[in-house]
Amino acid sequence: MCDGVSSVVHLLVGPSEDGARLDAFLAQQTECPSRSACARLIEGGAVTINGTMATGKAERVVLGDRVQVVVPSQATSQTHLAPNYEIPLDIRFEDQYLLVLSKQEGLVCHPSPGHVDDTLANALVAHCGYDHLGMLQGEDRPGIVHRLDMDTSGLMLAAKDDKTQKALQDLIRLRVLDRRYVTLVHGYVAPDEGSITTGIARSTRDRLRMTVTDDPMAREAITTFRTLERFEASATDEGFSLLECHLYTGRTHQIRVHMRHIGHPVVGDQLYGVRAKRAKSRDLGLARQFLHSWRVSFSHPETGECVTIEDTLPNDLAQVLADLHSRSMGRTEAGDCICPSLIRMCGQREEPARGTQ
């Protein structure tokens, strides 16, 4: 079966394949691409087992499983990702090795089902040229070092060659590439700072979601946070807290999952917000999660210089804080340091808060 864009491959797990890893099983099939390409199809939601989306490339298949794969057709697959010159890039730092940009909300990082040539990767090809980007993540992810969710905005890194890409990814693995996010969450977060360490894996109930679990296959996820400002409850909500989160690992949806786990879901989060409380008024009118990558800091892998870039909040998130201003319970010491940098250039009025917590 072929729709001109992709073909659907139906597979049955036989005795010799019982217990195999999903990516290895797929790579052995003549109808499927390479193992790394199969892993990307799994991650992109293009593979189901017995009608349910696969949880990950390491999932094991068993005898009798019916596996379905949506494989890009030969007619539409390209060796070189198509450039898209219409997508603007907000570049904050660039040299011959790498660039730091601020990604707008609504932009997908790399091709996936439903997004072929309208991604950040396509824009990077247009800006740098396909042959001037690192390819360690695969031919469809040129330059990508780490990702942000489609509706998360803010700072990201891209690499212009394989050596730089590997060096930056090593910094992430060694937990020395400092990535800071700002998020507004529901409720009163009492501690001024805290740490969340859990396992995270794909949910077995909803394959679009990740979940906190102690399953041995789960990957460790570490998030620390500092409370910046708290806002009073009203008749229609339980109040809000503005946090800065520091990622030590980079699991899918990590901050959103961790905030839900501690009982403070991210404002505007359509996937992990409490379903019974998803009234738009409770999410302050936001149709996307209040999550912004506001600061990155790292040692340049080639020059050794310390590169630190900070990014103010985009207008939609800055407006939410402006609307909450009269309900502020005061900023913490960390908030006094960080909030002016986030807000000052967004046109939001800076006035003394009513007290420091």
Is position 84 within any domain?
Answer: no
Is position 81 within any domain?
Answer: no
DSSP letter at 145?
S
pLDDT tens digits along 117-145: 899 999 999 999 998 999 988 888 899 99
Is position 33 within any domain?
Answer: yes
Q: Are residues 203 and 157 in the same domain?
A: no
Instruction: Residue 274: name the closest of 265, 287, 262, 261 by CA.
Output: 265
Is position 122 within any domain?
Answer: yes
Dihedral sign for Cα atoms in the order 282, 286, 288, 289: negative
pLDDT tens digits along 90-118: 999 999 999 999 999 999 998 887 888 89
Find out whether 147 and 136 touch, Cβ atoms under 8 Å.
no
Q: Are residues 144 and 283 in the same domain?
A: no
Q: Are residues 65 and 202 in the same domain?
A: no
Q: Are residues 115 and 21 in the same domain?
A: no
In the numeric block, the tokens 């992990």 are attached to 272
pLDDT value at residue 5:
59
Task: Give the domain CATH number at 275.
Answer: 3.30.2350.10
In angstroms and rounded to an integer, the radius of gyration of the C-alpha atoms of the chain is 22
pLDDT value at residue 347:
44
pLDDT value at residue 355:
42
Distance CA 318, CA 334 (A): 18
Distance CA 176, CA 168 (A): 10
Q: Are residues 156 and 200 in the same domain?
A: no
* Structural domains counted in the chain: 3
Is position 354 within any domain?
Answer: no
Q: Are residues 215 and 284 in the same domain?
A: yes
pLDDT value at residue 335:
97
| Structural domain boundaries, residue 248 | 178-346
pLDDT value at residue 305:
96
Query: Whole-prediction pTM value?
Result: 0.77
Q: Are residues 58 and 162 in the same domain?
A: no
Exactly one of 140, 149, 161, 237 is catalytic; name it: 149
pLDDT < 70: residue spans in the chain: 1-5, 73-79, 274-281, 344-357
Task: Give the domain CATH number at 64.
Answer: 3.10.290.10
Establish whether 206 is a catalytic residue: no
Find out whether 275 and 267 touch, Cβ atoms under 8 Å.
no
Find out whether 298 and 177 touch, Cβ atoms under 8 Å.
yes
Q: Are residues 52 and 156 in the same domain?
A: no
Instruction: Residue 343: name the closest of 316, 323, 313, 315 by CA.
Output: 313
Burial of 290-329, coded b for 16+ CB within 10 Å and e otherwise, reads bbbbbbbebebbeeeeebebebbbbebbbbbbeebeeebb
